[in-house]
Copies of this chain bind each other. A is one copy, B any other.
Amino acid sequence: MTAKANRLQHVEEYYFSHKLREVRQLIAEGKPVINIGIGSPDLDPPLSVSRAMQTTLEQLNVHGYQSYQGVPELRQSMADFYSKYYGVTANSVDEILPLMGSKEGIMHVSMAFVNAGDKVLIPNPGYPTYSSVTNLLEAEPVFYDLKEDNNWFPDLEALSRTDLSNVKLMWVNYPHMPTGYKPTKQLFEELVAFAKAHDIIVVNDNPYSFILNENPMSILSVEGAKEVALELNSLSKTFNMAGWRVGMVLGSAENIKSVLQVKSNMDSGMFYGIQQGAIAALQSDESWFSNLNTIYEKRRELAWKIADVLGCTYNKDSAGLFVWAKLPEGQTAEAVADELLYNHHVFLTPGTVFGSNGEGYIRLSLCVKEEVLQQVLTRIIKY
């Protein structure tokens, strides 16, 4: 048998993949497990989104191949959205590329800029896909520390004193997952300066900026950012369209062209009806966000109560779909998660899934209804 490629030897099964199999197994055994571990929005998209798809399907010539770059109206809607909410001007012709979700963008961007053997700066804690994609390309993940006492921001001065030769790419993700910490303009300015100083491309993965956040911010709002920065964004959380697979990448025309060179050899354009749904979503008015966040605020109150029962501390000024809670001194994340899963039938995420700096923390998802969070409270009251 031909062996599989070397790149697969570096890639482990995603934590959630095997843990969720265990959860399904427990459920199959009759255990009523409640899952507050996953950030998959349970709410519906704006009604206009499904309507746009349904209407489209009544039209002629909507089933064929689409352009790799999507229809001009989609890119224009994305440009308008960035202008309206982030104050960022991007040319819809060549500075924006629609993606089938921002996750595929992590691979496309990495393939466009990273050679095997190159180094890639990756946040610890952070979204595990940054390192798995880096490993798949046989590049070297270099984890940089994020710590609570620095607001989960990178210590760029300390990083500057390390050997950064061969570093091609730096992943950042603000508002940050899993901690929910929000960026500041100063952080983005320092990141852009850092990238310029060390000839690195910095990519901000920005899918959470409309959830529990009054002030959405883009790294591209920093003057001169486009020279060195790219931003990934997504409709998954902002419009509850995770299953639809719509994302985007923005940056300089030159960098976007490199990403397009990869993408056009890997897939085809997005289904026309999905593009129309995305356009409808992007044109939602601002009440969409306030209504959505009203729901998440109520859920967060309950998640905080759960964290209180568990003796945790947490930052109340956080964004995104999660509550990131610090366990009492001496408790370890996986032990607490396992105790809750096996003895209370509540599945939540140990912080270590996101890297060693997640030790001592747990992550609670807000993607479940209030009743369910209430139920969790009842279950753990005797914790």
The answer to whether A6 touches B103, judged by C-beta atoms less than 8 angstroms apart, is no
Interface residues of A in 57-79 (CB under 8 A from B): 57-58, 60-66
19 contacts between A and B (CB under 8 A): A1-B228, A2-B113, A4-B261, A5-B113, A5-B258, A6-B115, A11-B261, A45-B63, A54-B57, A63-B240, A65-B236, A116-B138, A136-B265, A243-B269, A243-B272, A244-B271, A245-B270, A245-B271, A271-B271
Q: Which label, helix, strand, loop or mixed, suits the secondary structure of the A interface?
A: loop
Interface residues of A in 1-38 (CB under 8 A from B): 1-2, 4-8, 11, 13-14, 17
Q: Does A332 contact B (CB under 8 A)?
A: no
- List, in ascending order, chain B residues with CB within 8 A of A269's CB: 243
The answer to whether A7 touches B63, judged by C-beta atoms less than 8 angstroms apart, is no
The answer to whether A243 touches B112, judged by C-beta atoms less than 8 angstroms apart, is no
Chain A 155-192: CB-based contact to B (< 8 A → 1; otherwise 0): 00000000000001100000000000000000000000
The answer to whether B63 touches A104, judged by C-beta atoms less than 8 angstroms apart, is no
The 8 closest A-B pairs by CB, nearest first: A50-B57, A4-B258, A132-B265, A65-B242, A40-B65, A107-B266, A40-B64, A104-B267
Q: Nearest CB to that of A367 among chain B residues?
A: B64
A110–B40 alpha-carbon span in the complex (Å) = 30
Q: Does A248 contact B (CB under 8 A)?
A: no
The answer to whether A116 touches B116, judged by C-beta atoms less than 8 angstroms apart, is yes
- List, in ascending order, chain B residues with CB within 8 A of A94's CB: none
A6–B375 alpha-carbon span in the complex (Å) = 54
Q: Nearest CB to that of A131 among chain B residues?
A: B265
Identify the A interface with B (CB < 8 A).
1-2, 4-8, 11, 13-14, 17, 40-42, 44-45, 50, 53-54, 57-58, 60-66, 100-101, 103-104, 107, 111-116, 129, 132-133, 136, 138, 168-169, 199-201, 227-228, 236, 240-245, 254, 258, 261-262, 264-274
The answer to whether A5 touches B63, judged by C-beta atoms less than 8 angstroms apart, is no
The answer to whether A107 touches B265, judged by C-beta atoms less than 8 angstroms apart, is yes
A42–B63 alpha-carbon span in the complex (Å) = 8
The answer to whether B242 touches A63, judged by C-beta atoms less than 8 angstroms apart, is yes
The answer to whether B136 touches A267, judged by C-beta atoms less than 8 angstroms apart, is no
Closest Cβ–Cβ distance, residue A4 to chain B (whole Å): 4
The answer to whether A266 touches B103, judged by C-beta atoms less than 8 angstroms apart, is yes
- List, in ascending order, chain B residues with CB within 8 A of A274's CB: 271
How many copies of this chain are found per oligomer? 2
The answer to whether A227 touches B1, judged by C-beta atoms less than 8 angstroms apart, is yes
Q: Nearest CB to that of A56 among chain B residues?
A: B50
Counting chain B CB atoms within 10 Å of each CB, the highest count among A53, A115, A254, A265 belongs to A265
Q: Nearest CB to that of A196 among chain B residues?
A: B1
A270–B41 alpha-carbon span in the complex (Å) = 16
- List, in ascending order, chain B residues with CB within 8 A of A111's CB: 5, 7, 136
A136–B7 alpha-carbon span in the complex (Å) = 14
Q: Nearest CB to that of A246 among chain B residues?
A: B271
Q: Which residue of B13, B242, B273 contacts A53 across the interface (Cβ within 8 Å)?
A: B273
A268–B111 alpha-carbon span in the complex (Å) = 18
A104–B104 alpha-carbon span in the complex (Å) = 11
- List, in ascending order, chain B residues with CB within 8 A of A227's CB: 1
Closest Cβ–Cβ distance, residue A61 to chain B (whole Å): 7
- List, in ascending order, chain B residues with CB within 8 A of A2's CB: 113, 168-169, 199-201, 228
The answer to whether A266 touches B133, judged by C-beta atoms less than 8 angstroms apart, is yes
Closest Cβ–Cβ distance, residue A121 to chain B (whole Å): 13
